[in-house]
């Protein structure tokens, strides 16, 4: 029942996005607007007021960060090794490696986290939420930097110069990261958001998850998995099975247990981010493989997340 209560709402809204796109209720342009609003406004507002009002982070944040980073790094290495053993062409290799480690922490991980925290005592809930918000910021930075570096290394035209300066500027100005940083500064200095700003942030932030999940569904409906599905399935196994296994080993070894361990494993098991397809296409990587990986991984993650919940519940 826990799996149904926590996972069904997320995948139901994603499924609604697919249905609305197939029925032409949502178009490419409306989906683009949904995604941009969720990314640049709704999610930053949500993160701002939650971070600013969060409990003071404890050592738990370091344990979460260590587990997530170890899982991301080791699955990236696994993707690199396995793609080499399979003799995947360079253009496809970058896309496969990225799909193996880049999880959708913001659009799928955060709503899942919030649903799962609702059953915990208030004090424990606030501590875990604060720790996770602190931990995911460096991980998102790593995802972006590592994805760009991987795709740049395995470009078909290595002479084409990629602007690393532009990438750094994009990371520094990432609205999700900025919102968490501003919220953390307010929280650390025991400053409260003005009531009018807090209430505005809550109203705008409340739209974050529905818009983001509908956007994911709408994008998935427009992606074909006819090509490269076998490599997409390999990257899915790495992301949805190997990543949480690594998270379990590392998390247990450094002292995570109970609800904390269960939550970090769920964050490890979230599917590949849709943005990985967008970035691969922009950097002239194998867009077909990246697109297929997103679709296959999102569908498979319903099963893998359920298994993680069942095993750790």
Report whether 280 contacts 95 (CB < 8 A): yes
What's residue 34's pLDDT?
Answer: 84
Percentage of residues of the chain with pLDDT beyond 90: 35
At 39, the pLDDT band (50, 70, 90 cuts) reads confident
What's residue 2's pLDDT?
Answer: 61
DSSP 103: B
Fold of 2-312: Na+/H+ antiporter like fold (1.20.1530)
- On the CB side of 16, CA atoms within 13 Å amount to 11
The span from the CA of 309 to the CA of 289, in Å, is 29
Which residue's structure tokens are 């190997």?
242
Max avg pLDDT among 61-70, 169-178, 204-213, 222-231: 61-70
Report whether 232 contacts 99 (CB < 8 A): yes
What's residue 58's pLDDT?
Answer: 75
The span from the CA of 290 to the CA of 239, in Å, is 13
The span from the CA of 8 to the CA of 307, in Å, is 14
Q: How far apart are the first and last CA of the chain?
A: 10
At 225, the pLDDT band (50, 70, 90 cuts) reads low
Mean local confidence (pLDDT), 53-72: 88
Percentage of residues of the chain with pLDDT beyond 70: 93
Q: Which H helix or E strand runs over 83?
A: helix 60-85
pLDDT tens across 160-184, in order?
555 667 767 777 778 888 888 888 8
At 51, the pLDDT band (50, 70, 90 cuts) reads confident
The CA angle 178-6-299, to the nearest 5 degrees, is: 85
Where is pLDDT greater, at 246 or 26? 246
What's residue 163's pLDDT?
Answer: 64
- What are the residues facing 272 on neighbouring strands? 103
pLDDT at 26 > cutoff 80: yes
- Taking only Cα atoms into account, the Rg of the chain, rounded to an integer number of angstroms, comes to 19
At 200, the pLDDT band (50, 70, 90 cuts) reads very high
What are the residue boundaries of the structural domains of the chain, listed by start? Answer: 2-312
């Amino acid at each position: 029942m826990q799996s149904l209560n926590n996972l069904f709402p997320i995948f139901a809204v994603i499924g609604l996005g697919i249905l609305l796109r197939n029925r032409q209720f949502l178009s490419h342009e409306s989906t683009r607007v949904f995604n941009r609003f969720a990314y640049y406004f709704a999610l930053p507002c949500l993160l701002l007021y939650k971070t600013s009002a969060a409990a003071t982070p404890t050592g738990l944040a370091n344990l979460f960060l260590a587990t997530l980073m170890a899982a991301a790094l080791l699955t990236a290495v696994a993707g690199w090794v396995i793609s080499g053993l399979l003799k995947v062409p360079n253009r496809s290799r970058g896309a496969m490696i990225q799909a193996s480690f880049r999880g959708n922490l913001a659009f799928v991980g955060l709503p899942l986290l919030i649903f799962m925290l609702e059953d915990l005592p208030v004090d424990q809930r606030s501590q875990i939420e604060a720790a996770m918000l602190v931990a995911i910021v460096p991980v998102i930075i790593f995802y972006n930097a590592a994805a760009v570096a991987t795709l740049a290394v395995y470009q078909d035209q290595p002479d084409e110069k990629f602007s690393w300066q532009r990438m750094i500027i994009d990371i520094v100005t990432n609205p999700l990261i900025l919102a968490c940083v501003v919220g953390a500064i307010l929280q650390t200095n025991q400053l409260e958001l003005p009531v009018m700003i807090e209430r505005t942030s809550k109203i705008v932030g409340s739209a974050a998850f529905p818009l983001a999940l509908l956007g994911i569904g709408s994008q998935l409906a427009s992606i074909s998995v006819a090509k490269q599905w076998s490599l997409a399935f390999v990257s899915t196994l790495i992301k949805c099975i190997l990543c949480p296994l690594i998270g379990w080993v590392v998390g247990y070894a450094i002292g995570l247990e109970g609800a904390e361990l269960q939550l970090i494993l769920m964050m490890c098991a979230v599917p590949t981010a849709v943005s990985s397809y967008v970035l691969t296409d922009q950097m002239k990587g194998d867009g077909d493989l990246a697109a297929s990986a997103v679709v296959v991984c999102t569908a498979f993650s319903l099963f893998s997340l359920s298994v993680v919940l069942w095993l750790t519940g």
